Structure 1
Amino acid sequence: MIQSKVSITADSEPQIPYIASATYPTRHGNVVRPLIDSAPTFRRICEAIEFAQHSVWLSITFAAPDYQMPDGRGTLFDVLDHAVARGLDVRIIFWRPNPESSGYGQAFAGSPADREMLAARHSRFRARWDRAHAAYCQHQKIWLIDAGEPSETAFVGGINPTFKAFEPGHVGEGQRHDVYVEVMGPSATDVHHNFVQRWNEASERMLEDGVWGHNGDDELPFPIHVTDPRGDSLVQIQRNVYTGRYNDNHPTPGGLPYDIVAGERTISDQYIQAINAARNSIYIENQALPIPEIAACLEKALKRGVDVVILVPAEPEEHVRTARRNPDRKDFLAHIEALDEYNNFTLVGIAGPNGQGGRSNIYVHAKIMLVDDTWATIGSCNLHSNSIFGHTEMNAVIWDPKVVRALRHQLLSEHLGQDTSLLDDRDALQLYRKAAQENRLRGECGDFNWEGLAFRLNPTTYGE
């Protein structure tokens, strides 16, 4: 098997180790800007599109044709059609479900009705549809502006243009909390490489209904140079890709060939390495409870004295409810319940005032982890088995204490309603745990006049 060996140019090995074998190397010289919640994220993406000079490329898993972009910009398709009208090269990769994955979210699958809608709009962007295997999905959510140009800008995360945009401070029914990250600099080249690999090998590209605005022979060249440095952050673009999905192991600029035919599990491996290396704090926001393999690592961290907070949807995912009812799935929940036996652990949900004297739960769709105020991963990868073992995913991993601390301050300010910028990471998570417990107790007494949004969840009853 041919594997790339990541080139490390830092002065010393970091506490959170690099992944030694991956499609994409760690790269210095990036500007990294985390973006919290959908309205601010899509506002920034739309601004980048409006300033684009050459191209707009994106990969979408779920999409609602009537989803409104912020500030009166119209729908997603309005934004893209306007970009085409300006002369930009606009390309989209949509996921097409298999029968086993049908109904798993609102996919724009290229159905006859979808294609009629595009024809009625006279949409001229180029699109390809791409399947995953079996019940899995192409779960990457990426935007790439001006690919290969000095202004190249990538956005990596998990937000889908499907649900009502969430404006921090304005809580209502159906809103979601989520996180994206903007990357400018050398690591944007790797998002470019990933898009080209996916575009050229999109599963439906030779089918009449598998493309829009072009034919299946329209291949893209791989990038040939690394984008110039723009900042100071060390970043690695990481992926999960299942075996046999791609065949072209053409290397990213500055990297070595990687045997992508054998698949890649860089994100999954990095989660384990980061948790095992944690010394003080682990802060997780995820749509799913951690699978047992990751929960076991978290328990070892708790035994070492690491403070751990996990933010999940207050209303559990259906697979959690199913596991709670199934005696054969007791081990899955037992690993999470075991974590709650440690005083330095908290499972948390968030809920905002609903204007009627109560609280409405805010769905947590983020997929991030922060460790020791020095390292973060942000992307599309959930901690359930589908993302870890089946979906195609992308995360951006950041080794930059300044960026990670600022992100922690911003997230906790939203969730706690308190400024934690003067606290270290351990003290901040202890404050989080205390505030969440107090809010839970007040809620149980019918008092929803909380400070912030966070409240403690009980792992032993979660999913009942």
Structure 2
Amino acid sequence: MSSTLIPFVQSGSYPRRPGNLVRPLVDGTPAFRRICEAIEEARLSIWVTVTFLWSTFEMPDGRGSLFDVLDRAAARGIDTRLIFWRPDEETEGLRQNAFWGSTAQIGLLDKRRSGVQIRWDRAHPGFCQHQKCWLIDAGDENETAFVGGINLNPHSMVAPGHKGEGHNHDVFVELAGPSAVDVQHNFVQRWNEASERMAKDGCWGAGSTTSLRFPTRVPAERGSAVVQIQRTIHEGRYVNGQATPEGMSFDIASGERSIFHQYCAAIKAARRSIYIENQYVEVPEIVDCLRRALERGVDVILLMPANPDVSLQVPPARRAFLDARTELGSYPNFLLAGIAGVGADGHRKPIYVHSKLMLVDDEWATVGSCNLHHFSLFGNGEINAAFSEPDTVRAFRCELFREHLDQDTFGLDDLSAFHLFRKIASANRKKFEAGDDAWQGLAFELDVAAYLG
């Protein structure tokens, strides 16, 4: 069992569980290839939570659409279920790339004679059911889960070395061992209380109106990582707080914010290094924790989209927040960076950072669906896997840095690797400003004071 000075949270639906195998999967093509392999090997069930599904999305290696892959599994007798988010009136602008149960989408399922079972689930008004997880063979000794942030989006499916404008960088993590039962518990809790289950158009497929049983046993140990599944759940979304196996009953009706508490606790406990990839850093408490870490001498690298999404601005507090975040740039041990690949025209094009992860001290990490903004931390439905196992976390850091820097950092400790990242990103920024596309890797430094995302 691994040991760490980074504390796991004490209040949440799920306990910390030792004995897990953890395998990070960087970028959409490798991640979905591995998920498809697990689907093709499934013996009992495939359960999936989906936020966004683009009509043009296809799985890698010619496997076809999501429903092509899942219908083949269902035809083998595999229990195949999906929970799709259904946007409300306040979020209906996001329906374009959501499989929300429109007349046309139901018609597509009917035409396919699809063998899947579906329930639709709304979020609290104005928020999103943002969880992205896959569970293979729930309750079986080989139960395997995938937790992360990759949407079923064609922009996620380009190999890192060929990425350019319009493509995403993202991450999933594969889990096997005791922690998989908590991903199962989350799915059952959502399935049984999906908001639309009683609506005429809230379920689809034979068996979709039947509730599921909560899990009763913990899978055998498969590795050496300690894992805790953590969530954001808005108050009032679910009522049944039945305990996960070997866990304690949790008042889910009052909501859960264990991801927020975990981020704060991990940053406060960091001693050497913090590496974050996220679309947004929009919460003052997180920024304050990072500032205090910098004051303690902790090295911090924050990788964000080079071209930020500014649609989440909250005008009354925005200026004060931006001033506080800009202050981070005054510390020599802080770096804000983006990534850019070579586009079809031979010039550097920004790669959108869609991943949601943090690595601390080369020994602890979290990966999931949760952005560091108000929506994800306090209102959406989100799920993350926090894990401690130094060999796994260090290898994860090396894989990310190999992609971003085009250099192997396996022989370097975290601080030496951070120094190299900062050196390469600074040099690439100078080349970017000079119009020189001959970079090393993808990463380049961003101007904190000018960054509005």
TM-score calculated relative to the size of structure 1: 0.95
Counterpart-to-counterpart distance in 2, 1:331 and 1:108:
38
Partner of 2:108: 117
Q: Residues of 2 paired with 1:34 and 1:11: CA distance?
A: 17
Which structure 2 residues correspond to residues 357-396 of structure 1 after superposition, within 5 A?
Answer: 357-396=346-385
Counterpart contact for 1:206–1:215, Cα < 8 Å: no
Q: Distance in 1 between matches of 2:389 and 2:15?
A: 16
Deviation, 1:197, is 0.4
SS at match of 1:103: helix
Q: Is contact 2:231–2:257 with CA below 8 Å preserved after alignment?
A: yes
My pick for the range that moved more, 108-117 or 170-179, is: 170-179
Query: Is 1:48 matched up with 2:43?
Result: no
Q: What secondary structure is seen at the aligned counterpart in 1 of 2:371? A: coil
Give 1:38's aligned residue: 28
Mapped to 1, the partners of 2:228 and 2:27 lie a distance apart of: 23
Q: Which residue pairs with 2:419 in the alignment?
A: 430
What per-residue deviation string (whole Å, max 9, x for no partner) do you get for residues 95-128 of structure 1? Answer: 0001101123621110111101111111120000
Contact 1:166 1:177 in 2 (8 A): no
AA in 2 matched with 1:141: K
Measured in 2, the distance between the counterparts of 1:417 and 1:425 equals: 16
1:204 and 2:196 are equivalent in the alignment: yes
Task: Report if aligned partners of 2:326, 2:448 keep a CA contact under 8 Å in 1.
Answer: yes
Match of 1:305 among 283, 288, 297: 297
Give per-residue Cα distances to partners, 1:203-252, cap 9 Å, x unaligned: 00111111110366400000110011111111011111111111111110
- Alignment partner of 1:341 out of 296, 316, 330: 330
How do 1:223-242 residues align onto structure 2 when only pairs under 5 Å count? 223-242=215-234
Q: Is the 8 A contact 2:120 2:196 kept in 1?
A: yes
SS of aligned partner of 1:245: coil
Please state how far the C-alpha of 1:33 moved relative to its aligned partner. Answer: 0.2
Match runs of 1:351-362 below 5 Å? 351-362=340-351
Cα drift, residue 11 of structure 1: 8.9
Q: Any gaps of 5 or more consecutive residues in structure 2?
A: none
Amino acid at match of 1:346: L
152, 169, 175: which one aligns with 2:143: 152
Name which of 58, 75, 78 aligns with 1:68.
58
- Which of structure 1's runs of 4+ aligned residues deviate more than 2 A? 214-217
Q: Residue 135 of structure 1 corresponds to which residue in structure 2?
A: 126
1:53-88 deviation digits (Å, cap 9, x = unpaired): 011000000002331100000011100111111110
The DSSP-based 3-state class of the residue aligned with 1:421 is coil
The question of whether the paired residues in 2 share the 8 Å contact of 1:205 and 1:215 is answered with no
- Say which is worse superposed, 97-106 or 144-153, in terms of deviation: 97-106
SS at 2:305 equivalent: coil
Q: How does 1:408-427 map to 2 (within 5 A)?
A: 408-427=397-416
RMSD of aligned residue pairs (Cα, Å): 1.4
Contact preservation (8 Å) 1:380, 1:395: yes
Structure 1 CA distance for aligned equivalents of residues 145 and 269 of structure 2: 28
- What SS does structure 2 have at the residue aligned with 1:274? helix
Q: 1:170 is matched with which residue: 137, 162, 173?
A: 162
Moved more, 208-217 or 411-420: 208-217
Aligned residue-pair number: 451
Q: 1:443 aligns with which of 424, 427, 432?
A: 432
User: How many angstroms apart in 2 are the aligned matches of 1:430 and 1:177?
Assistant: 22
Matched, 1:402 2:394: no
Could you say if the C-alpha distance between residues 445 and 426 of structure 1 is closer, same or farther in structure 2, counting changes exceeding 3 Å? Answer: same
8 Å contact kept, 2:164–2:340: no
Q: CA deviation at 1:327?
A: 7.3
Query: Does the aligned pair in 1 maintain the 2:2–2:388 contact within 8 Å?
Result: no
- Alpha-carbon separation, structure 2, partners of 1:308 and 1:11: 24
Of 272, 278, 291, 1:280 maps to 272
The structural deviation recorded for 1:433 is: 1.2
Query: Which residue does the alignment assign to 2:7?
Result: 17
Q: Is the 8 A contact 2:225 2:387 kept in 1?
A: yes
Q: What secondary structure is seen at the aligned counterpart in 1 of 2:47?
A: strand
Q: Are the aligned partners of 2:56 and 2:154 in contact in 1 as well (CA < 8 Å)?
A: no
The answer as to whether partners of 2:167 and 2:352 remain within 8 angstroms in 1 is yes
- Is the Cα–Cα contact under 8 Å of residues 17 and 226 in structure 2 kept in the other structure? yes
Quickly say closer, same or farther: Cα 1:287–1:328, change in 2 above 3 A. closer
For structure 1, the 5+ residue unaligned runs are 1-9
1:463 shift after superposition: 3.1
Task: Report deviation, 1:292.
Answer: 1.2
| In structure 2, distance between residues paired with 1:303 and 1:142 | 36
Distance 1:383 1:406 in 2: 24
2-structure distance, mates of 1:301, 1:166? 35
The secondary structure found in structure 2 opposite 1:101 is helix
Instruction: Give distance in 2, aligned partners of 1:169 and 1:37.
Output: 11
Paired with 2:236 and 2:404, the residues of 1 have a C-alpha distance of: 41
CA distance in 2: counterparts of 1:171 and 1:138, whole angstroms: 28
Aligned to 2:91: 101
Aligned to 1:77: 67
Measure, in 2, the Cα distance between the counterparts of 1:216 and 1:143.
18
The amino acid across from 1:228 in the alignment is A
CA shift digits 1:108-167 (9 cap, x unpaired): 110111101111111120000000011101110000000000110000001010233021
Q: Distance between the aligned counterparts of 1:284 and 1:319, measured in 2?
A: 21
2:311 to 298, 307, 319: 319
Preserved contact between residue 206 and residue 216 of structure 1 (Cα < 8 Å)? no
User: Does the CA contact (< 8 Å) of 2:33 and 2:59 recur in 1?
Assistant: yes
Structure 1 distance, partners of 2:321, 2:121, is: 32
Please, which moves more after superposition, 165-174 or 331-340? 165-174
SS of the counterpart of 2:201?
helix
Distance in 1 separating the partners of 2:45 and 2:208 = 19
Letter in 1 for 2:213: P
CA offset at residue 22 of structure 1? 1.6
TM-score (norm 2): 0.97
Letter in 1 for 2:106: R
